[in-house]
Structure formats: C-alpha cells, structure tokens
C-alpha cells in the first residue's frame, strides 16, 4: 500500500524546503517533489541580495524577520552583513530615493541618508557623480548558489521524503486527499502545498485553478575574481542595480533586468538588449569594473500577481490545498514566510498575517 | 531585414568551405573566427613572428585555404569572439561578438556553427602544474610558433595526436624522453586497417612512427601517467601499465621519468557552446567524442535556420570537415531559397567515406571505463576554481546528481573557462557514483557569454542619459 | 625550465623587441604570442589560484583562461595577444600585491 503522507509539497525551492522542514519537525509526514533539482530555480540563481532598501514597504516586517533567518543560516549559505548604499546620480533619482527610503524607514528599516563624502570614504571606488545616497547597516547578501546544497543537507537529516527530477503531471482530488502523479510513481497525501516558484501558474493549473501569475525573467551577471573593489552592497534609486563583491572576489551584478522566455519553455534566456545596460549601469556606479570581464550571465524566473503581494494561504476552492509563492523579495523573505506557512497548516497562531490567495487582484504600480 | 543571409562561426576546415560555397551561390554571408587567421586548429597559421619556415602538409593545405578565402572575397572577420546567440522579435538570429575591444551585434536568417573541437585531458594528481599542456595545445604551439614546451618532454595519452606531437617535437629539434600510450600496438594495427581509406594519411602516420623509432624514443605501450610530481612546475612523471579497461594495474610495471614538460591528451570533445546557447538538441555518442549537436548528414539541427558543420557535430576529423561544410551550406542555401537545388548524393557519399578515417582515429581515443579510476581524490578537476575529485564526490554523494546542482554546490565549472575542461570529467565521476548514463546525466544549462566579455567593451561610448531605465519596482 | 624556440636551418624569426613583465624588461620576437615570449624567458607560471597553487598556459588557443594576464591594463588571454615593442604585461597576482603594498588591506 502506498504511504498516505500528511502533506505533499510541490516545489523544492526555499519555500517548499523550508515549509517541509518546519512541518516535519512538528511531526507531519511530508513528501516533497521537485521537477528539477533542489534549490536550482530562482532560489539558487538570484543575485542573493539581502537588502531592506529594495523591499516593499508592506513586506518590511517580513523582510526584517527574513534577515534574521539568513543570519542564523550563516556561513553555510555564505551570509554576510556588509551594509548597503543606494545611489542617486541625478536630482530626479535623488527625489525618488528620498520618497522611497523615507517610507521604508517608517516601515521599520534602519535606513539613513548619508553624504557622498561618507560614501566615498567607505567606498573609494564608487563614481564621484553622486547626488544622494542612502545607507542601511543591516543590508548584506547570501550566496544563492549554495541554497540547494544547504537545503538538501537539511532534508537528508530530516524525516522528509524528497524526490528530485519528479515533474508532476496530474493531481487527482478526492475526499481522502490528493493523488499526485509523476511520470512514474504516484504519491498520496492528505494535504497539498503548491510552492512552485516561477512555475506556480503551471502547478496551480493541475488543480484547474487559473492564477493571474506573470513570470519575470530576472538577469544576473558575474565577473571573474577581482581584487577588492567594494565592501558594501550597492543599489540604485530605481532598484535597477544590485551589486556586491563576494568573498571569493567575483562581483555580482543584478537589478531585475528582463531576459526572455517563459517557464513553459524551460529556463529563461539572457537578452543582450537588457544585460548590456544592466552591466553599463554597474560600470557607471563602479568605473573600475572596466578592468574586469563578465564570465557568466543567467536568468531566473520570479512569479508575480498583479498587486505584487504574496500568495500565501489556503486555496479557497480546493479543501486542504495551500499555496505559497509570488513573494516579491522571496529570497530574503522565503525562510521566514515558510515558517508562517507551516504554522498556518499546523493550525498554530501566526506571528504575522499571511496573504489570502483568494483576494481580488487589482493592478498596482505604487 | 537581416544584416546577413548567413553567418558562419568558425573559419576552420568546415566553416571556411561552408562560407565559400554559400558565397559562390550568391548568399550575403559573414564569416567570424576568433583566431588571427583562418585555418582552425588543424591548419592553424604561423604567427607573424615566423618570417619563413619549412613547409609541411598542414601549412600547404592551410595556406591554400587562406588564399581561397581571399579569392572569394568573403567578408571574414578575424579575432571575432562570438559571445551571444539569440533569436530576436523578427525571428532572426542575433549574434553578439567582440572584435578588437568593440562589441558588435549582427542579425542573420541562418547560422552555420563550425566551432570544431577542444581538448579532453583526464586529470591526475599534479596535472594542473605549469609545464603540463594538452596534446592539441602542443600542436598549436608547434604550428604557430615552432616552439617546444621544454628541454625534456614526455608525450602521453591516446590517439593520433600522441604520435603527431612526438614527431613534431623531433622534427623541430626538441627532445622526447618517452611516449606513454594508452593504446596498444594491436589497437594501432587494427585502426590502420580502418585507415586504409586514406593511404596518403596512413603513410604519413607511418613516417611519424619511423622517425620516432629511428630516434630511439622509448614507447610505453598500454601505459598511463598516474601522477605528476613537482612543486612549482612538473619535475617528473609516474607511469604505470594499464589493464584492458585502461585502469592502472597494481602489479604492472611502474616507472618514474624525469621531465620538464608533459604534453598529455585523451582525445577531443566537440565544442558545443554555440549550439547549446542556440538551444539545439545535443546527444552523447562516445564514438563521436561525447556530447555533440544532433544533426543529419547536412548539418541540420532541430532549430530552424541553425546548422552545424565539422567536429562540433561529432568528431569525424579534418578529412570530412570540408564536405560537411559544403553540405551544411547547401542545406542553409535551401532554407534561404538561394541558388539551384543540386544532386548531393555523391557529396554525401564522399563525406561518409572521408569520415571513416576520422572515426578510426577517434576510436583510438574512446575512453575505457577504468580510465577515471586513475584520477586520484586529490586530482584537480576544475582548474579555474581548483576543485578536487574529493570535493565533487562529496557533493554527488550528498545527492547532487545533475550537472547544475554539482556546479552550484562545488563551483566546478563556475570559473572563467565556463566548465569547458571540467564538465566532461565531472560527469565521468558522477557516473561512478550515480550509475547513470552520460545521456541521463545531461549537460549544464547554457549561459552566455561563450567567452569572457570585457566590461571595457560593454561600457564603451556609454551615455548615462541613454540608459533605457524601466519604471521602478513597486513600492 | 623554459620553452624553446626551435632554430632549424630554414626557420627565420622576426626582430626582437622589448616588453615588461611585472616590472622587469624581457625581449621576445615581434608578433609572437605573449605566452610564448614569457615562456621562452622561463616564465611559465601565469597565475596563482586563490588557494595558492601555480598554473601555466594549458590550451594555447584562447579558451582555458589559464594565461590571462593584465596586458596594457586589460585582462586578456596572453596566448591571443601578439607581442609588440613596449608592451606592459602584469600578472593578476602582481596587481594584488601592488595594491596591498599601497596599503589597501581589503585586497
């Protein structure tokens, strides 16, 4: 007889793994199914920035808790608290920076405005063409390429049964629970959590649910190893640049510039018309980049709904089915919101509220 | 409107022929090559520092190819390094390349990738030391610079490059201390039967052996290098006899040979970065050098408008390469609706006949399954990031089985060479633990740039106000 | 150890020119690759890895990245650069050492 798990989790990124571990620790029998490898989607290929300056105002309490989780994960995920500067190169950007950072500070982020002199004292290689700067001492980064290794090791030492290269092709629902079909075996579970990351729309479609999800195709590039050029995480008032120098000397350049492709076509592709300006913006901020070479650019899918807030809660029309994803800033917030999700499934009291996935979506730009 | 009908990437034996064929038919073409002169590896040109030197069959064939290209008035850009291949919104191919410090973008309807092959070296402890170079590397050094890598050179590995390298060192006036051959004499005898299709080349090979014999160079048949000793550079080499699976035997003869240089190679891998980036399907065939882009006889891949010619579509060797170039050009011209249809049966037959010789030589380099056992735990697999076999095994044993997962966890293949020299070996090690086939293990996800891209070129003539800054992220 | 430019009777090479490597002047033949010019002068270690082990040129065709040096201020594969008079060549390791000497402790 097939084992009837307490819960089946679809997706082995940060959210799927962290929720699985939380539930298993509380005594649930958990099966986790990942279509590729653990932590190789956006969880493993994002730029790794842990910056409160690029988090959404309403998500700030979650980001603050998320930072704390990453700090606890520590060396194993390459966590470093460096501090972070966000730069404005003209008056328009300075105004944007002031508006945005003030709101984020009011939401609890430890953000201050500093003079260009202070920036250049700490970061002498940053361009002198600076109009305004904000600083957050709590900012830092983790090494996202270690996400898979980190969670695989934790899963190996837990009671979670996990299977990689296990694409779900069908999900049957009955009053007893769910029958989850992969190309070969089927698995039974009383509950179901969709944590499919960039592939969430496809995962939800297996339950005949059409979610208004769009996948963004975020681009990241990395240089060869270099002597020290910067010590802090560097951002841009528009949010279109994140830059940090890793412990090994390589410099990672991101900022959400869009590649091409959709989750249906496999992995996304780097687009020369966006990766070039992304690197140009990085070089404008840090002129010394000119001496280095880009050795690799890549993309990762980030799922979003129209209001850019998470889907985190019970799916209204499918009993015992839950969803967790579409978290803007998901790398930072992921380990924390997964614990909330776990608590929600366990019926525990929640430290912070989740985000009803059955809400009406309205477009939001602000 | 595209800039070109056809862009050919690589001006070696296959690419040059493809370019000439397409030009003759009236197609607007661009030939890009990353070296300073056409000819590829087999017909690599001499460096400008060589004013004159004795001619060899390779230099004669190479000079002819270069003069033919000039006669056809082909738009041929040298020192052009393709970094990106993608489809644009008009369903045209967009190729990004670097040339003398400047970035260029060109569009075309069809691509022929003729990117050739690259060296495979199965590492042992010490193989990362300075003074250890590849066999193909050695031939590049000889052809381009008439220079030998030391005073006392050991030549090790398998296949025809092993014998050619030893012969070239002697011809140039250098000293070979020993030849360490994985192949047995019988392997060579059997191969030469298959090589009868090209008596001229077989005869040349015989002259190489004759010169080596006359110079009384010790040849250790059915032997392998097990360790390279040295602190800052190679000082000596440990060798051992091998069994039928090419694994060093515990009871076999062992030796330590002093040397200041080692040329070592274990066959060639197709160079597939370009076709991978263009999303074509690739397959694994040991008899064709491993992973190669999947094509029909005309070099058609499963991507519309993408063709492959030469060793990147399977190691058939230099003899077949011009025919493969011509066939790919014919297929591309058909796709482009340029020129007349022609009967190609004879050409296909000629290509297949020429391929027999190449396949026989490639056969000598098919790795037997014991070969990877000679790679110690301490051996450096990823040269760029200094990742050892031990580190890879730990990662694979913890459950990371796909090439992407292994790369993420260990940094193997994350350095500037892009995994070109370690991916194949990492997969061999993966096999020993996971028991999967190479086809099941698969390849890492393709990422541009194909070669490292200088930021100085990206940032050139950049005006901040021209930056296409999209709307800021939601607050 | 060093590389040997072979001098058979019919081999004629271009004139010698001077270039510098990590501050020392050497000579090599005009137009030969910087890798060969260095190796013929006995410099076969082109870089030191992050864990301190030496590496030298390996592929001689611009793909292995082992001979990447700072040539006239840009990082490039030395095997792909033709030697010219007065070329300033530096190893990446030397660049880092220089920065340390200047008092940059972060290097």
Residue B243's pLDDT band, with cuts at 50, 70 and 90, is very high
List B residues 407-436 in contact with C (Cβ-Cβ < 8 A): 415-417, 420-421
Between positions 181 and 220 of A, the ones with CB within 8 A of B are none
The reply to whether B377-441 shares the fold of B4-118+269-362 is: no
Q: Are A228 and A297 found together in one domain?
A: yes
Q: Is residue A340 part of a domain?
A: yes
**Chain C residues within 8 A of B49 when measuring between CB atoms:** 13-14, 29-32, 82-83
Say yes or no: A165 and A292 in one domain: no
On whether both A157 and A233 belong to a single domain, the answer is no
Name the token pair of A93. Answer: 């950007």
Query: Do B327 and B344 contact (CB within 8 A), yes or no?
Result: yes
CATH superfamily of B377-441: BFD-like [2Fe-2S]-binding domain (1.10.10.1100)
Q: Does one domain contain both A126 and A19? A: no
What confidence tens digit (pLDDT) does each residue in A90-143 have? 999 999 999 999 999 999 999 999 999 999 999 999 999 999 999 999 999 999
- Facing C5 at nearest CB: one of B54, B146, B151: B146
Would you say residue B471 has pLDDT above 90? Answer: no
- Asked if C36's CB is within 8 angstroms of B146's CB, the reply is no
Average the pLDDT over A176-198 and give the result. Answer: 95
Quick check: A227 and C74 CB within 8 A? no
φ and ψ at residue A301, rounded to 5 degrees: -85, 135
Q: Say if the Cβ atoms of C61 and B137 lie within 8 Å.
A: yes
- State mean pLDDT over A258-281: 94
CATH number, position A158: 3.50.50.60
CB B336 within 8 A of CB B110: yes
Together in a domain, A228 and A132 = yes
Give A44-59 pLDDT, tens digit per residue.
Answer: 999 999 999 999 999 9
The model's pLDDT over A138-153, given as tens digits with 9 standing for 90+, comes to 999 999 999 999 999 9
Contact C60 B415 (CB under 8 A): no
**Side by side, which strands form the sheet with C88-90?**
C24-29, C16-21, C88-90, C68-71, C74-77
State the residue range of the domain holding C95.
Answer: 16-101
Q: Is residue A63 part of a domain?
A: no
Chain C residue closest in CA terms to B174: C6
Q: Is residue A33 part of a domain?
A: yes
Assess if residue A52 is contained within a domain. no
Same domain membership, residue A335 and residue A283: no
* Average pLDDT, integer, range B335-352: 94
- Give yes or no for residue A365 having a pLDDT over 50: no
Residues of chain C numbered 23-52 and touching chain B (CB < 8 Å): 29-33, 36, 39-40, 44-46, 49-51
Query: Has residue A361 been placed in a domain?
Result: no
Q: Are B113 and B306 in contact (CB under 8 A)?
A: yes
Evaluate if residue B376 carries a pLDDT over 50. Answer: yes
For residue C100, pLDDT over 80 is answered with no
A54 interface with B at CB cutoff 8 Å: yes
pLDDT band of residue C103 (cuts 50, 70, 90) is low
Residues of chain B with pLDDT > 90, as a percent, come to 92
Same domain for A185 and A224? no
**pLDDT confidence band for A366 (50 / 70 / 90):** very low
Q: Is residue C9 one of the residues assigned to a domain?
A: no
Pair (A193, A313) in one structural domain: yes
Q: What is the pLDDT of residue A161?
A: 98
Domain membership flag for residue A55: no
- Confirm whether C7 is domain-assigned: no
Quick one: pLDDT band at residue B252, thresholds 50, 70, 90? confident
Angle between helices B423-434 and B403-410 (to 10 degrees): 110
Scan residues 300-319 of A and list those with Cβ closer than 8 Å to B: 308
Complex ipTM tops 0.90: yes
Instruction: Confirm whether A314 is domain-assigned.
Output: yes
Same domain, A124 and A220: yes
Whole-model pTM: value is 0.96
Write down the pLDDT at residue A106: 97
Q: What is the mean pLDDT of chain A?
A: 96
Give the CATH fold of the B121-266 domain: FAD/NAD(P)-binding domain (3.50.50)
Q: What is the residue range of A93's domain? A: 80-141+214-304
With CB atoms and an 8 Å threshold, state whether B469 touches A152.
no
Q: What is the percent of chain C with per-residue pLDDT over 70, rounded to a whole number?
A: 86
| pLDDT of residue C66 exceeding 80 | yes
Residue C55 belongs to a domain = yes
In a shared domain, residues A119 and A234: yes
pLDDT at residue C14, as a whole number: 97
Note whether B71 contacts C: Cβ–Cβ < 8 A.
no
Which residues does residue B261 pair with via DSSP β-bridges, in sequence order?
B153
CATH number for B4-118+269-362 (one of 3.30.200.20, 3.50.50.60, 3.10.20.30, 3.40.47.10): it is: 3.50.50.60
Average pLDDT along chain C? 90
**Cross-chain residue pair A283–B462, CB shorter than 8 Å:** yes
Residue C93 burial class via C-beta count within 10 angstroms: exposed 0-12, middle 13-18, buried 19 and up:
middle
Which residue from C68, C74, C95 is facing A227, i.e. has the nearest CB? C95
**The pLDDT of residue B474:** 83
What pLDDT was estimated at residue A1? 58
CA distance A154 to A150: 6
Instruction: Measure the CA–CA gap between B368 and A257, rounded to whole angstroms.
Output: 46
Chain C interface includes B452 (CB < 8 A): yes
> Can you tell me the distance from the alpha carbon of C48 to that of C71, in angstroms, rounded to the nearest whole number?
17
CATH number of the domain within which A231 lies: 3.30.9.10
Print the SS3 string covering A49-84. Answer: EECHHHCCHHHHHHHHHHHHHHHHHHHHHCCEECCE
Task: Give the closest residue to A314 by CA, choosing from A359, A364, A363.
Answer: A359
Q: Does C86 touch chain B (CB under 8 A)?
A: no
**Model confidence band, residue C93 (pLDDT cutoffs 50, 70, 90):** confident
Contacts (Cβ under 8 Å, ≥6 apart) of C107: A227, A228, C96, C99, C100
Same domain, A220 and A296: yes
Q: What is the mean pLDDT of residues C1-28?
A: 93
- Report pLDDT for C101: 66
Answer yes or no: are the C-beta atoms of A83 and A37 closer than 8 Å.
no
pLDDT tens-digit profile of C68-83? 999 998 999 999 999 9
Q: Is the pLDDT score of A364 beyond 70? A: no
Question: What pLDDT sits at residue C104?
Answer: 57
Residues of C in contact with A293 (CB under 8 A): 75
- Domain match, A219 and A117 both: yes
What distance in Å separates the CA atoms of residue A292 and residue A272, rounded to the nearest whole number?
18
pLDDT digits (tens, 9 = 90+) for B83-102: 999 999 899 999 999 999 99
Q: Which helix (H) or strand (E) is A252 found in, with range?
A: strand A251-254
- The 10 Å CB-count burial string (b at 16+, else e) for A24-36 is beeebbbbbbbbb
Instruction: Please state the rounded mean pLDDT for residues B138-147.
Output: 96
Q: How far is B173 from chain C (nearest CA, A)?
A: 6
- Residue B325 · residue B114 · CB < 8 Å: yes
Which of C6, C64, C65 lies nearest to residue B172, judging by beta carbons? C6
CATH of the domain at C31: 3.10.20.440
Closest CA–CA distance from residue B471 to any residue of chain A (Å): 8
Asked if residues B30 and B7 have their Cβ atoms less than 8 Å apart, the reply is yes
**CA-CA distance, B248 to B239, in Å (whole number)?**
9
Distances, alpha carbon C78 to alpha carbons A147, A197, B86, C21, C58, in Å: 36, 44, 29, 12, 12
* Residue B322 banded pLDDT, cuts 50, 70, 90: very high
How far is the CA of B253 from the CAs of B76, B153, B217, B262, in angstroms?
Answer: 52, 21, 18, 20
Q: Is residue A103 situated within a structural domain?
A: yes
The domain total for chain A is: 2
């Amino acid at each position: 007889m097939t084992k009837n798990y307490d819960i089946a989790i679809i997706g082995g990124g940060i959210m799927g793994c962290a929720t699985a571990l939380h539930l298993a620790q509380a005594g649930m029998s958990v099966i986790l199914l990942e279509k590729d490898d653990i932590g190789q989607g956006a969880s493993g290929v994002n730029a790794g920035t842990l910056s409160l300056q690029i988090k959404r105002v309403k998500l700030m309490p979650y980001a603050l808790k998320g930072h704390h989780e990453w700090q606890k994960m520590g060396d194993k995920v390459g966590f470093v608290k460096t501090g972070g500067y966000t730069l404005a190169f003209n008056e328009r950007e300075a105004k944007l920076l002031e508006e945005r950072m003030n709101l984020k500070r009011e939401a609890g982020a430890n953000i201050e405005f500093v003079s260009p002199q202070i920036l250049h004292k700490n970061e002498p290689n940053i361009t002198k063409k600076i109009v305004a700067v904000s600083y957050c001492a709590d900012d830092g980064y983790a090494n996202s390429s270690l996400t898979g290794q980190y969670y695989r090791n934790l899963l190996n030492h837990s009671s979670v049964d996990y299977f990689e290269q296990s694409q779900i092709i069908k999900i049957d629902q009955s009053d007893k629970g769910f029958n989850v079909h992969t190309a070969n075996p089927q698995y039974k579970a009383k509950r179901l959590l969709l944590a499919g990351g960039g592939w969430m729309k496809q995962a939800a479609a297996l339950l005949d649910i059409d979610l208004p999800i769009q996948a963004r195709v975020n681009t990241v590039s990395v240089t060869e190893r270099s002597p020290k050029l910067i010590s802090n995480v560097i951002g841009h008032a528009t949010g279109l640049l994140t830059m940090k120098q890793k412990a090994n000397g390589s410099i990672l350049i991101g900022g959400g510039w869009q590649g091409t492709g959709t989750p249906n076509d496999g992995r996304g592709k780097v687009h020369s018309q966006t990766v070039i300006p992304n690197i140009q913006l990085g070089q404008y901020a840090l002129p010394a980049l000119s001496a280095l070479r880009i050795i690799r650019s890549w993309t990762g899918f980030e799922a979003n709904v129209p209001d850019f807030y998470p889907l985190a809660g019970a799916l209204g029309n499918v009993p015992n089915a839950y969803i967790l994803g579409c978290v803007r800033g998901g790398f930072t917030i992921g380990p924390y919101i997964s614990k909330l999700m776990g608590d929600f499934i366990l019926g525990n009291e929640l430290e912070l509220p989740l985000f009803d996935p059955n809400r009406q979506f309205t477009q939001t730009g602000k | 409107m595209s800039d070109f009908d056809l862009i050919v990437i690589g001006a070696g034996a296959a690419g040059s022929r493809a370019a000439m064929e397409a030009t003759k038919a009236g197609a607007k073409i661009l030939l890009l090559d990353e070296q300073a002169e056409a000819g590829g590896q087999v017909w690599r040109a001499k460096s400008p520092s060589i004013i004159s030197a004795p001619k060899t069959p390779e230099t004669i064939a190479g000079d002819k190819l270069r003069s033919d290209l000039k006669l056809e008035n082909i738009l041929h850009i040298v020192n052009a390094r393709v970094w990106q291949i993608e489809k644009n919104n008009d369903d045209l191919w967009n190729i990004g390349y670097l040339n003398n410090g400047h970035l260029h973008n060109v569009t075309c309807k069809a691509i022929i990738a003729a990117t050739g092959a690259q060296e495979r070296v199965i590492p042992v402890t010490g193989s990362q030391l300075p003074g250890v170079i590849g066999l193909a590397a050695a031939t590049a050094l000889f052809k381009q610079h008439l220079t030998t890598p030391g005073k006392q050179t050991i030549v090790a590995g398998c296949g025809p490059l092993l014998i050619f390298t030893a012969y070239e060192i002697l011809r140039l006036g250098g000293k070979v201390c020993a030849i360490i051959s994985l192949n047995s004499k019988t392997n060579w005898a059997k191969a030469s039967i298959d090589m009868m299709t090209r008596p001229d080349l077989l005869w040349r090979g015989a002259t190489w052996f004759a010169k080596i014999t006359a110079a009384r160079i010790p040849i250790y048949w059915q032997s392998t290098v097990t360790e390279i000793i040295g602190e800052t550079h190679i000082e000596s080499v440990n060798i051992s006899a091998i069994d039928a699976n090419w694994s060093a035997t515990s009871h076999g003869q062992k030796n330590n040979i002093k040397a200041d240089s080692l040329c070592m190679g274990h066959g060639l891998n197709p160079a597939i970065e370009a076709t991978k980036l263009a999303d074509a399907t690739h397959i694994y065939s040991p008899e064709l050098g491993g992973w190669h882009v999947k094509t029909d006889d005309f070099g058609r891949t499963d991507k519309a408008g993408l063709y492959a010619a030469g060793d990147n579509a399977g190691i058939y060797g230099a003899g077949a390469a011009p025919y493969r170039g011509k066939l790919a050009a014919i297929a591309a011209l058909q796709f482009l609706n340029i020129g007349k249809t022609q009967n190609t049966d004879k050409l296909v037959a000629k290509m297949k006949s020429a391929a027999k010789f190449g396949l026989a030589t490639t056969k000598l380099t098919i790795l037997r399954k014991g070969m990877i056992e000679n790679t110690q735990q301490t051996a450096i697999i990823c040269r760029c990031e200094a990742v050892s076999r031990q580190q890879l095994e730990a990662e694979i044993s913890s459950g990371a089985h796909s090439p992407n997962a292994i790369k993420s966890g260990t940094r193997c293949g994350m350095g500037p060479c892009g995994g070109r020299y370690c991916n194949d070996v990492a997969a061999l090690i993966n096999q020993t633990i996971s028991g999967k086939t190479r086809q099941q293990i698969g390849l890492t996800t393709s990422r541009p740039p194909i070669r490292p891209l200088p930021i100085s070129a990206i940032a050139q003539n950049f005006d901040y106000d021209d930056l296409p800054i999209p709307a800021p992220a939601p607050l | 150890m060093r590389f040997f430019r072979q001098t058979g009777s019919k081999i004629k090479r271009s004139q010698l020119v001077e270039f510098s490597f990590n501050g020392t002047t050497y000579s090599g033949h005009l137009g030969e690759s910087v890798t060969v010019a260095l190796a013929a002068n006995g410099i076969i270690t082109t870089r030191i890895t992050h864990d301190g082990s030496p590496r030298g040129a390996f592929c001689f065709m611009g793909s292995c990245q082992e001979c990447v040096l700072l040539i006239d201020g840009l990082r490039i594969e030395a095997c792909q650069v033709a030697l010219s008079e007065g070329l300033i060549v530096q190893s990446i390791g030397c660049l880092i050492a220089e920065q340390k000497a200047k008092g940059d402790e972060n290097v």
